[in-house]
């Protein structure tokens, strides 16, 4: 992983904490949340305030995320909004934290000028010891304050001011006035500079969790289902009409189509579909060439085309299917029959533009592991896991490609691939619960019980 770290492809965009003042504030918040303190003088933090250096020091990568379902956070600066979320256990967590920071930017800027802000993404589940427990996660509410309780104190002072203004004897209440003066010394002028944070809650209907090998939960769609990365039998009965695993390709394809979650790349508007197909094919050739111990250092498209001709007999059906689709697009060839059973099928799709587009693209990335760019952009956890098992030749090629082709213009690359930016998480909305949503269209063969 050293090469990934060196190129900023792992632990990239973290916030450096090297000021004694900020270290002291962090420790105060850390003690407030966990009862522990760090001995580090210089470290880096993600959007939640998690530090890989402190995680290594504690021997606990979940020191701010107890049991993987109680995400706590420490904010030292609003600049954390641009940082990644490391060791994510729920796909919605980073979007929630980012929206919280953006919608309270002015207030957080004022608060973090004097203290750290500590908080938690609160839900009713404290331990997900069975897969079914994950379905109890319905709503995430953000609770936050400075370690000295500035926000709570400001709310209390505001109530005192209201009482002072409205109570008949308020002007003569010496105790109330003294309390107000004492509280104002702590909070400042809350009339001119209100110190409050918006109360924010987020529905958790559709999300991915890293628990139990990875589970995609889709509840707020017309035809609900869960999709697990491992064998579906291992998760037992889930409280959702249908449970699939990644081997149920036809069922997943039908699920995506019935819920109108995907579209064919070749028919999508605003993108160069042929260029995307060419790139996917290059990734597959590179994977084959790496297995054959070819040196891919500085490999160009022409080099990969040469290697593709050389190893034509070894190219997998994923490449063959994409090549047939490309011949239709560029050379007026016959329309290829690529059904959901074909290994190339999911390589031909992308998420439609909707609030769960990132979640669907994450699922597609897991179904198309040879597309290393999609895997890196949409499913970092799966990418790092796969990277550790690749031969050195493929590792070097992938790092070089991502460093020179993706890192230089991330936003442009995402727009070219997906045609839309990350949708922000929305406030809770009502789930559909009609008869078809409960029964589903797949029949009894793959239906989960419970």
Which pLDDT score is estimated for 429?
33
Binned at pLDDT 50, 70 and 90, residue 416 comes out as confident
- Which of 54-68, 147-161, 314-328, 432-446 comes out lowest in average pLDDT? 432-446
Closest by Cα among 382, 371, 355, 354 to 406: 371
Mean per-residue pLDDT over the chain, rounded? 85
Region 65-80: mean pLDDT is 94
The residue behind tokens 């995506």 is 256
pLDDT bracket for residue 173 (50, 70, 90): low
pTM (predicted TM-score): 0.84
Confidence of residue 186 (pLDDT cuts 50, 70, 90): low
Does residue 401 have a pLDDT over 50?
A: yes
Torsion sign (Cα): 278, 283, 284, 286: positive
Q: Which tokens is 382 given?
A: 């799966």
Of 50-54, 170-174, 357-361, give the lowest mean pLDDT range: 170-174
37 DSSP β-pair partners: none
Please list the residues that pair with 349 across neighbouring strands: 264
Pairing state between β 70-75 and 65-66: antiparallel
Percentage of the chain modeled with pLDDT above 90: 63
Asked if the model's pLDDT at residue 325 lies above 50, the reply is yes
Locate tokens 């929630």: which residue?
96
Q: Which residue has the tokens 């069922």?
A: 251
Least confident of 8-12, 52-56, 205-209, 308-312: 8-12
Q: What is the pLDDT of residue 183?
A: 63
3-class secondary structure, 133: helix
343, 316 Cβ separation under 8 angstroms: yes
The string of pLDDT tens digits covering residues 222-261 is 999 999 999 999 999 999 999 999 999 999 999 999 999 9
| pLDDT for 153 beyond 70 | no
* 192 has a pLDDT exceeding 50: no
Q: Where is average pLDDT lowest: 153-167, 203-217, 375-389?
A: 153-167
What angle separates helix 249-258 from helix 357-367, to the nearest 10 degrees? 160
Residue 391 has pLDDT above 50, yes or no: yes
pLDDT at 146: 86
Percent of the chain with pLDDT over 70: 84
* Vertex 403: Cα angle to 401 and 406 (nearest 5): 75
Span 146-156, average pLDDT: 71
**Alpha-carbon gap, residue 231 to 245, rounded angstroms:** 6
């Amino acid at each position: 992983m050293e090469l990934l770290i060196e190129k900023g492809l792992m632990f990239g965009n973290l916030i450096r904490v090297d000021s004694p003042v900020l270290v002291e504030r962090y420790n105060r918040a850390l003690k407030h949340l966990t009862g522990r303190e760090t001995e580090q003088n210089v470290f880096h933090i993600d959007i939640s305030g998690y530090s890989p250096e402190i995680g290594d020091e504690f021997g606990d990568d979940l020191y701010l995320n107890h049991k993987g379902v109680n995400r706590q956070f420490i904010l030292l600066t609003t600049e954390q909004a641009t940082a990644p979320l490391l060791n994510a256990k729920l796909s919605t967590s980073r979007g929630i934290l980012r929206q919280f920071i953006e919608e309270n930017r002015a207030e957080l800027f004022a608060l973090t000028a004097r203290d750290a802000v500590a908080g938690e993404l609160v839900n009713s589940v404290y331990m997900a010891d069975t897969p079914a427990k994950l379905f109890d996660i319905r709503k995430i509410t953000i609770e936050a304050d400075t370690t000295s309780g500035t926000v709570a104190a400001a709310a209390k002072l505001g109530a005192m001011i209201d009482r002072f203004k409205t109570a008949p004897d308020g002007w003569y209440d010496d105790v109330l006035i003294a309390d107000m003066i004492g509280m104002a010394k702590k909070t400042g002028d809350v009339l001119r500079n209100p110190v409050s944070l918006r109360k924010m809650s987020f529905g958790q209907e559709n999300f991915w969790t890293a628990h139990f090998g990875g589970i995609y939960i889709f509840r707020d769609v017309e035809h609900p289902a869960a999709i697990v990365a491992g064998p579906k039998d291992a998760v037992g009965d889930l409280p959702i009409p249908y449970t699939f695993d990644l081997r149920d390709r036809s069922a997943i394809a039908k699920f995506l189509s019935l819920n109108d979650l995907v579209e064919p790349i070749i028919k999508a508007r605003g993108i160069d579909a042929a260029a995307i197909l060419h790139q996917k094919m290059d990734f597959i050739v590179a994977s084959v060439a790496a297995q054959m111990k070819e040196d891919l250092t500085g490999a160009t498209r022409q080099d990969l085309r040469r290697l593709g001709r050389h190893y034509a007999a070894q190219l997998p059906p994923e490449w063959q299917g994409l090549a047939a689709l490309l011949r239709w697009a560029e050379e007026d060839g016959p329309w290829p029959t690529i059904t959901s059973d074909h290994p190339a099928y999911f390589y031909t799709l992308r998420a439609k533009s909707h609030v769960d587009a990132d979640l669907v693209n994450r699922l597609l990335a897991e179904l198309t592991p040879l597309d290393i760019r999609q895997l890196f952009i949409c499913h970092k956890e799966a990418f790092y896991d796969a990277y550790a098992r690749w031969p050195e030749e493929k590792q070097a090629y992938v790092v070089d490609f991502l460093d020179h082709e993706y890192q230089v213009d991330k936003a442009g690359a995402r727009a070219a691939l997906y045609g839309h930016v990350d949708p922000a998480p929305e406030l809770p909305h009502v789930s559909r619960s009609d008869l078809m949503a409960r029964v589903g269209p797949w029949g009894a063969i793959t239906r989960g019980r419970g």
